[in-house]
Structure 1
């Protein structure tokens, strides 16, 4: 399958799995981290239970992302929405445990449970810390962003690809955040950056920091890609139409048609 087909296939599979009519009526459909779908699929593509590994890992990610959306500042206007968000996150977690129990994959359950524990502990520190600049912020953020991918790589014994994949995931996350910022979106990442980084107070400063860090990670990936076995996914795979959203002088070497 092409990358576009892979994303579409798993997006449909996951949405069918998590559909719940009451939640769908009152909450927005959860946004999927499509860059992680691509990364996980790349790691497990030679496994007989490939679909289940991608789907269950993404269900964990959806549940954790959903709980992140809970606003600590409750008011009369959003109490019901916040309560439903909590329930939705628990619901997605429940589906994940149900699926893995049915396929009797105890070793994978243990690995993902370890990942959830590590991510939760890292978040407790990260979300309430102050950072002097974007680089220090990203140093801690990338640990959270890459935990589940690390666990999947460990499970399928492909740790040799992990360094490249981890940086690739960070690159795609930041590209998504930049495109969202340009579209005047207000993501959880944007809010954290502006609240917790001393040198970033507005969208212009955040956009500049994102572009600089994207360039930094892109250069690091080019270095790793010199080893052809490392570059398991094209660095310039344009998942979020970044190149069409701005006028950077960047050439898309390989695209979604692969």
Structure 2
């Protein structure tokens, strides 16, 4: 059984360390800077901070897993097909985005070698394989229903953190993690869709299981999934142990903020 060992690892310090690792002046000239997912960082930090390892090792675990997430997210930014007459700059951006994903992958392999933890290497490699297989399913499968699509999307969003939680014997956080990360993903996608910005998830929905649903109904359908997930988040977050208090505070703050923002976006939409 893993025992608790409290640590003083400010989230801002870990975030800054990740930013320093992924900084690359040449790549930043041509492609968008990688986004550090604060929701995943906060959950991950809460899972790892109260484990028996040294603060240095905990920090390296967190940075490594976040680099895996950034590499996965960066590869998602690559456009699915090459346009015949696209400008050279666009072609270069695509090529560099692929290289950036590989670059971040190389960084987490480097950090894994520093940790000297074969079990964690296996855990992350297995999770990456599962996530990539799920992404292929989401992009190419003909879903019977929106619910089936959302189930796979939830897995894609949460699987890496879930596997890490299981590795550290913290699987009690998994139901909360799955619902919270799906909620946040759908909120971002809905916001982009209503603002007529690029929304890959709405694009997949409208071309797939929701293709016969009217524009306004699609937004309403996604909103129903958001509300359902938020309710489950509220039920599960209160059950987390006391040493997850900073995560509870973070989530409650985000829920409160999103209620106001959600109403505003719906009015504008």
Task: Give the TM-score taking structure 2 as reference length.
Answer: 0.80
Task: Call closer, same or farther: CA 1:192–1:9 in 2, change over 3 Å.
Answer: farther
1:165-217 Cα offsets, whole Å, 9 max, x none, are 22222222223323333444313333333333334777644432221111111
Aligned length: 243
160-169 or 139-148, larger mean C-alpha shift: 160-169
User: Is structure 2 residue 150 aligned with structure 1 residue 125?
Assistant: no
Aligned to 2:41: 37
Structure 2 CA distance, aligned partners of 1:34 and 1:170? 14
The unaligned stretches of length 5 or more in structure 1 are: 249-258
Q: Distance in 1 between matches of 2:179 and 2:209?
A: 21
Number of the residue aligned with 1:247: 263
- Rg larger for: 2
Conserved? CA contact 2:41–2:66, under 8 Å: yes
Any idea what the Cα deviations from partners look like across 1:30-61, whole Å, max 9, x if unmatched? 12222111111111112422211211111111
Equivalents in 2 of 1:228, 1:104: separation in Å? 30
What CA distance in whole angstroms lies between the structure 1 residues aligned with 2:136 and 2:192? 25
Displacement after TM superposition at 1:27 (Å): 0.8
Kept in 2, the 8 Å contact 1:60–1:92? The answer is: yes
Distance in 1 between residues matched to 2:145 and 2:62, nearest whole Å = 34
Q: In 2 relative to 1, CA 181–198 (structure 1 residues): closer, same or farther, beyond 3 Å?
A: closer
Q: Is the 8 A contact 1:171 1:218 kept in 2?
A: yes
Alignment of 1:230-245 (within 5 A): 232=244, 233-234=247-248, 235-238=251-254, 241-245=257-261
Q: What is the RMSD of the two structures over their aligned residues, measured on CA atoms? A: 2.6
The worse-fitting range, judged by mean Cα deviation, of 170-179 and 150-159 is 170-179
Residue 80 of structure 1: CA displacement? 1.4
Moved more, 159-168 or 34-43: 159-168
Q: Which moved more, 1:217-226 or 1:194-203?
A: 194-203
Greater shift in the superposed pair: 43-52 or 226-235: 226-235
What residue in structure 2 maps to residue 177 of structure 1?
189
Q: For each residue in 1:112-167, what CA deviation from the matched residue of structure 2 results, as whole angstroms up to 9, or x when unmatched?
A: 00100111112122211233443221011111111111111012111122222222
Whether the 8 Å CA contact 2:44–2:161 is kept in 1: the answer is: yes
> In structure 1, what is the Cα distance between the partners aligned to 2:194 and 2:255?
15
* Alignment match, 2:70: 62
Counterpart selection for 2:160 from 137, 148, 154: 148
